[in-house]
Amino acid sequence: AGLAYPERLNCVVELLDRHVDEGHGGRTAVIANDLHWSYADLTEVVNRIANVLTRDLGMVSGNRVLLRAGNTPMMVAAYLAVIKAGGVAVATMPMLRAGELAYPLRKARIALALCDHRLTAELETARVQAPELARIVAFGGAGSELEALMAQPGYEDFTAVDTARDDVCLIAFTSGTTGEPKGTMHFHQDMLAICDCYGARVLKASPDDRFTGSPPLAFTFGLGGLVLFPMRIGAAMVLPEKAGPADLIDAIERHKVSVVFTAPTAYRAMLDKLDGRDIASLRTCVSAGEALPKATFDAWQARTGMPLLDGIGATEMLHIFIGAPREAIRPGATGTPVPGYEAKIVDAEGRDVADGTPGRLAVRGPTGCRYLADPRQAVYVLDGWNITGDTYLRDADGYFWYQARSDDMIVSAGYNIAGPEVEACLLMHEAVAECGVVGAPCPERGQIVKAYVVLREGVTGDTTLAKALQEHVKASIAPYKYPRAIEFVAALPKTATGKLQRFALRQMAQDET
């Protein structure tokens, strides 16, 4: 997309200082409950933290700093401060326990952590296994250590450290459904590139927009959608304290939000809670993290009059690389490559396959996978192309249609069946609230298609309903794809980033046979 960033670049200068320098310091940057920070306010908080990091905590350029907090204004400021001071922000999901924190701590050799005062206990425990962690500084509470240090005189100004555009500024860990989590490294220029590609060309938001959403800021989906995209254009972010569907609706209504980022499940859940609510401020609704079933797209559009903007992103790619602006949406397809990115479908040997044939998705563009010292780099990146692990097909018009995660394909009696296709079909049935479809071991067929179904409120799961769901699938898609086994469950296992844990469902299916 003709991106050319100057060789010396600190992305925080572009995302934050520039707005103040250009006379827009009075614009709203952050809203959380009753807190309102202008760009000038946010700049001062960031500068104070950056001074504490460098003058009191011994941080130098290139040091990695762990950040642990929910989606709070101080978390945003801490991210920006670490990066402004030339450091590398290493974010971890707030819900991680000591055992899960030790790995990223050790892997990224972290000596310093900034941590929400409510979340220090697990970090203290993790220290036993990660003795390199010399210092934990708490923030966010009355009399927290960080705020006390920030109040020192002369701390209100801080000149951004002169970093290179390809200096690492972020290490984001994947959620690690298989094996240890992987640390993905991203440069200063990457933080701007996602804004200048997806933000400018697909989202097309304006400085008067207000952004909100549910993904954690430790997840690049949340960091981009809630922080980087609005800041690139001087818009505001609204950070709800909790991120359930009702909390999102509250935030939209109360703060007149216009752009929302969340996952398909959350849109489905919000649909049941819209009665009597005023969400007229909303213009743009982005769905990512998991495949967006057509039933969800249709239901949202019927109820709100708005399309959902599907987009596939990955921690390795930093953000969304296939999507469609509202005027080019094809319901059911993810979209076309975001301007600046290229995508193609290849076979197991890396050869291009014909349009209409499912194969492995390969992408390349201004951002890409750089694992922190991990041999799996050679699996994800082949010949400069990122192999995301998804099976997709491209149609004759160049639109990309999601099939499944490559390792989630169900092979039943010789047929390849994509669980998400069966899920999308089940979701069209009025009784179904959520579902997950996996292969269950079967001596005759190798695997059978098994559906775990969460029913809508007030519906009871019995054999008649199971039969009706099977008939519904047979009548809608190729009959061999119908779920031979259906189990009604109260909830589905989800990862920290809200994705269905197919691995856990497969394990359940295995244990039950």
The stretch among 20-28, 134-142, 349-357, 383-391 that binds ligand 3UK (CB under 6 A) is 383-391
Q: Which one among 205, 314, 372, 381 touches ligand 3UK, defined by CB under 6 A?
A: 314
Residue 368 tokens read as 């890409």
Residue identified by tokens 């908080």 is 45
When asked if residue 405 is in the footprint of ligand 3UK (CB under 6 A), the reply is: yes
> Distance (Å, rounded) from C-alpha 340 to C-alpha 336?
11
Residue 271 tokens read as 């649909």
- Specify whether the CB–CB gap between 398 and 336 falls below 8 A: yes
In DSSP terms, 188 is beta-bridged to none
Task: Please state the closest distance from residue 471 (CB atom) to ligand 3UK, in A.
Answer: 27
**SS3 sequence of 181-236:** CCEEEEEHHHHHHHHHHHHHHHHCCCCCCEEEECCCCCCHHHHHHHHHHHHHCCCE
When asked if residue 388 is in the footprint of ligand 3UK (CB under 6 A), the reply is: yes
Task: Please state the closest distance from residue 263 (CB atom) to ligand 3UK, in A.
Answer: 8
Q: Which one among 220, 258, 284, 470 touches ligand 3UK, defined by CB under 6 A?
A: 220
Q: Which of 314, 329 has the CB closer to ligand 3UK?
A: 314
Residue 73 tokens read as 């204004």
Interface residues for ligand 3UK in 315-334 (CB under 6 A)? 315, 319-320, 334
The DSSP letter of residue 398 is: S
The stretch among 53-61, 68-76, 79-87, 388-396 that binds ligand 3UK (CB under 6 A) is 388-396
Q: Which of 67, 292 has the CB closer to ligand 3UK?
A: 292
CA nearest 447: which of 359, 509, 358? 509
Q: Which one among 44, 167, 390, 434 touches ligand 3UK, defined by CB under 6 A?
A: 390
Q: Which of 41, 408 has the CB closer to ligand 3UK?
A: 408
**SS3 sequence of 334-380:** CEEECCCCEEEEECCCCCECCCCCCEEEEEECCCCCCECCCCCHHHH
Task: Please state the closest distance from residue 216 (CB atom) to ligand 3UK, in A.
Answer: 11
Q: Which of 39, 400 has the CB closer to ligand 3UK?
A: 400
When asked if residue 366 is in the footprint of ligand 3UK (CB under 6 A), the reply is: no
Q: Which of 112, 292 has the CB closer to ligand 3UK?
A: 292
The DSSP letter of residue 332 is: T
When asked if residue 221 is in the footprint of ligand 3UK (CB under 6 A), the reply is: yes
Say how many residues touch ligand 3UK, by CB under 6 A. Answer: 24
The stretch among 162-170, 337-345, 384-392, 460-468 that binds ligand 3UK (CB under 6 A) is 384-392
Interface residues for ligand 3UK in 476-505 (CB under 6 A)? 497
CB-based contacts of 98, cutoff 8 Å, min separation 6: 122, 123, 125, 126, 128, 129
How many CB atoms lie under 10 A from the CB of residue 148? Answer: 12
Interface residues for ligand 3UK in 275-304 (CB under 6 A)? 288-292
User: Biggest alpha carbon distance in the chain?
Assistant: 75
When asked if residue 177 is in the footprint of ligand 3UK (CB under 6 A), the reply is: no
- Specify whether the CB–CB gap between 140 and 116 falls below 8 A: yes
Residue ranges in contact with ligand 3UK by CB under 6 A: 174-175, 220-221, 288-292, 310-315, 319-320, 334, 388-390, 402, 405, 497
